[in-house]
Amino acid sequence: MGAYCNENLSFSSAANLSPSHDLRLSKHVHDNVHGNIYLDPISLKFIDTEEFQRLRELKQLGTTYLVYPGAVHSRFEHSLGVYWLAGEAIQKLKTYQGLELGIDPFDVQTVKIAGLLHDVGHGPFSHLFESEFLPRVLNGFKWAHEQMSAKLIDHIVDEHHIDVGSEMIKRVKEMVLASSEFELPKSVKEKQFLYDIVANGRNGIDVDKFDYIVRDSRACGLGCSFDFHRLIETMRVVGDEICYRAKDYLSIHKLFATRADLYRTVYTHSKVKAIELMVVDALLKANSYLEISSSIQDPSEYWKLDDTIIKTIETAPDKELQESKDLILRIRRRNLYQFCNEYSVPKDKLEHFKNVTAKDIACSQKNGGVMLKEEDIAVSNARIDLTRGRQNPLESINFFKDYESEEKFPIPDDRVSHLLPTSYQDMIVRVYAKKPELVAAVSEAFENFQLKMYGVKAQVHATPKKKTRVSEALYGPASPGSIFNGRLLDLRGGA
């Protein structure tokens, strides 16, 4: 096996293992979230490939580390964590219901490999690449990292001659695609509960979330009161579906609420989104020259693409990349797109909401003053929900009363605590000026847009003039070289 020297990961031969795992020939890694993770021989064959090792070069949270300095963990660590939790979950079900469910070693191995490889198809800066960059390059053509994961799994097996049966690989790919394709393949007629473990398209409760919620919270220095161990310990299969004790419904709600809090405070932090918008612009300007998007259908080339694309652009001497290099330099020097303001879309407008564009803001400018162009403005439309859009996620989950019960049932809204929310989705629209001198003009145009759309200003922050008055009242007039000059908001929630 290759040498692993990640600061949080060190391998040694496994010994004194639990009798529930046949791991005498395995290796183990010490993970800073789950402790010792034991890696079976078949999984090691996938791990020791350049395609999987590439995940070390993909930060789990993309550009978030530029705001939360501790968020430098990688897709590699997360994938090992999901592998381990997938194995723990299937072993728990085997221990309690193995005979009645017919869980065999084939099922256990399949679920573990699916957990290991579920994110192997992610691109540079993860969701930024898939959700922000590619849609603007592909003109509406849908591309999903789950589909690339399935292609890369086939590529790894063929390229490295991994001796795994075709039926197992077929099942692994189906499990990886389960979250993006809400209907299971017609060929899946039995043991459908296995598809609920890694990427659950039925109700969103899966070990992928268990790992990243805890891992991301810890990396960003945030508390996390959600405890996935309880759910893994008490879950049962009823009617070919993983169900949960009715008394645990608040623990499940806490899972979704914690995820939503991460989206609000970390994933969609105003500075994080500013940096993401700049990285997307840099990639778009470099795409025609570097052909970044040319390999997204070819796994043999795609695996070579990772977060280091930014360093490639930054250090290249080519004049064709100068605009992209300038944007990256601005990020390095913290000369970011300037946050102007934001508003939350009114609840009664969410159903028919269409993403706000830079053109919408530019067209809302009144005559006089600086004339804004679309390219002067950047807009972020951040959707925050509990995994099921505007629906209550608890409605998609089936529960059981006790361990002797063979009946599953949903818990209707009127039986749930009245302290829980009655709305399950927020849409936050944020507007940025790409040049500092345009902040006032963009802010005014944004206010005009809100008045035109809703008849009121729904924003929650002060206008730039008010911000300046508050800053001067607290710190005195800002000199051109002052640390507070245009940086007061940087102290909110991150660097």
pLDDT digits (tens, 9 = 90+) for 435-459: 999 999 999 999 999 999 888 776 6
Q: How many of the other CB atoms lie within 10 Å of CB of 84?
A: 24
Q: What's the CATH number where 375 sits?
A: 3.30.70.2760
Binned at pLDDT 50, 70 and 90, residue 10 comes out as very low
Lowest mean pLDDT among 11-20, 347-356, 486-495: 11-20
- C-alpha 468/C-alpha 479 separation (Å) is 12
Compute the half-sphere exposure of residue 288: CA atoms within 13 Å on the CB side of its CA.
6
User: Residue 179 has what pLDDT?
Assistant: 77
Torsions phi, psi for 372 (to 5 deg): -85, 145
288 occurs within a structural domain? no
Q: Are residues 495 and 347 in the same domain?
A: no
Q: Are residues 172 and 156 in the same domain?
A: yes
Going by C-alpha positions, the residue among 93, 90, 80 that lies closest to residue 111 is 90
Do residues 125 and 60 lie in contact, with contact meaning Cβ atoms separated by under 8 Å? no
Write out the H or E segment, with its range, that includes residue 448. helix 439-454
Going by C-alpha positions, the residue among 334, 333, 284 that lies closest to residue 309 is 284
418 occurs within a structural domain? no
Mean pLDDT of 252-269: 93
Lowest mean pLDDT among 65-74, 94-103, 482-491: 482-491
Could you report the per-residue pLDDT of 211-233, keeping only the tens digit for each?
Answer: 999 999 999 999 888 899 999 99
**Distances in Å between the alpha carbon of 441 and those of 279, 366, 481?**
24, 10, 23
Residues spanned by the domain of 472: 468-495
Q: Note the residue count of the chain.
A: 495
400 occurs within a structural domain? no
Q: Are residues 84 and 221 in the same domain?
A: yes
**Residue 86 pLDDT greater than 50, yes or no:** yes
**Residue 33 pLDDT greater than 90, yes or no:** yes
Torsion of CA 180, 184, 188, 189, to 10 degrees: 160
Percent of the chain at pLDDT > 90 equals 70
Q: Are residues 264 and 150 in the same domain?
A: yes
User: Residue 455 has what pLDDT?
Assistant: 81
3-state SS, residue 378: strand
449 occurs within a structural domain? yes
Q: Are residues 484 and 362 in the same domain?
A: no
User: Residue 456 has what pLDDT?
Assistant: 77
- C-alpha 406/C-alpha 401 separation (Å) is 9
- C-alpha 174/C-alpha 171 separation (Å) is 5
Q: Are residues 495 and 456 in the same domain?
A: no
Do residues 359 and 379 lie in contact, with contact meaning Cβ atoms separated by under 8 Å? no
Q: Are residues 362 and 495 in the same domain?
A: no
Could you report the per-residue pLDDT of 412-424, keeping only the tens digit for each?
Answer: 766 766 566 667 8
What totals of helices (H) and strands (E) does the chain contain, helices first? Answer: 18, 9
- What total number of domains does the chain contain? 3
- C-alpha 344/C-alpha 341 separation (Å) is 11
Q: How many of the other CB atoms lie within 10 Å of CB of 34?
A: 17
Sign of CA dihedral 188, 189, 190, 195: positive
Strand order in the sheet with 241-245: 236-238, 241-245, 399-400
**Residue 50 pLDDT greater than 60, yes or no:** yes
Q: Are residues 70 and 217 in the same domain?
A: yes
User: Residue 469 has what pLDDT?
Assistant: 53
Which two structure tokens, joined as six digits, stand for 7? 């600061």
Q: Which residue has the higher pLDDT, 8 or 366?
A: 366
Mean pLDDT of 321-339: 97
306 occurs within a structural domain? no
User: Residue 3 has what pLDDT?
Assistant: 39
Q: Are residues 98 and 66 in the same domain?
A: yes
Q: Which residue has the higher pLDDT, 312 or 16?
A: 312
Q: Are residues 435 and 484 in the same domain?
A: no
408 occurs within a structural domain? no
**Residue 7 pLDDT greater than 80, yes or no:** no
Structure-token match 């020297």, residue found = 5
Q: How many of the other CB atoms lie within 10 Å of CB of 194?
A: 27
Mean pLDDT of 201-205: 91
Lowest mean pLDDT among 207-221, 336-350, 472-486: 472-486
Domain stops at, among 269, 293, 322: 269
Q: Are residues 197 and 145 in the same domain?
A: yes
- C-alpha 258/C-alpha 210 separation (Å) is 11
**Residue 299 pLDDT greater than 90, yes or no:** yes
327 occurs within a structural domain? no
| Global confidence as pTM | 0.88
Q: What's the CATH number where 220 sits?
A: 1.10.3210.10
User: Residue 486 has what pLDDT?
Assistant: 40
| Max CA pair span of the chain | 77
User: Residue 350 has what pLDDT?
Assistant: 87
Which two structure tokens, joined as six digits, stand for 376? 């002067």
Residues annotated catalytic, as ranges = 145
Q: Are residues 256 and 345 in the same domain?
A: no
Torsions phi, psi for 137 (to 5 deg): -95, -35
Mean pLDDT highest for which of 32-36, 343-347, 415-419, 452-456?
Answer: 32-36
256 occurs within a structural domain? yes
